[in-house]
Copies of this chain bind each other. A is one copy, B any other.
Amino acid sequence: MAATRVISDFSSKKHNHKSCVKSAVKKAESICIDRGMRLTRLRRKILELVWSRHGPLGAYDILQLMNKEEGKVLPNTVYRGLDFLIEAGLIHRLDSMNAFMGCADPVSRHSGQFLICRSCESAAEIHDAGIEQTLGRDAKRVGFSVEQQTIEVLGLCPSCSSD
A residues contacting B by CB (< 8 A) are 4, 6, 9-10, 95-96, 115, 117-118, 124, 126, 128, 130-131, 134-135, 138-139, 141-158, 161
Contacts and interface: CB of A to CB of B under 8 A. Distances in A.
Number of copies: 2
B128 A135 contact: yes
A136 to B, nearest CB: 9
Contacts of A126: 138, 142
A134 to B, nearest CB: 6
Contacts of A145: 155-156, 161
A150 B155 CA distance: 11
Contact of A95 (B95, B117, B146, B147): B95
A51 B6 CA distance: 39
20 contacts: A4-B141, A10-B144, A95-B96, A95-B152, A115-B144, A124-B144, A126-B142, A135-B153, A139-B155, A142-B158, A143-B161, A144-B156, A144-B158, A145-B155, A148-B153, A148-B155, A149-B153, A149-B154, A150-B150, A150-B154
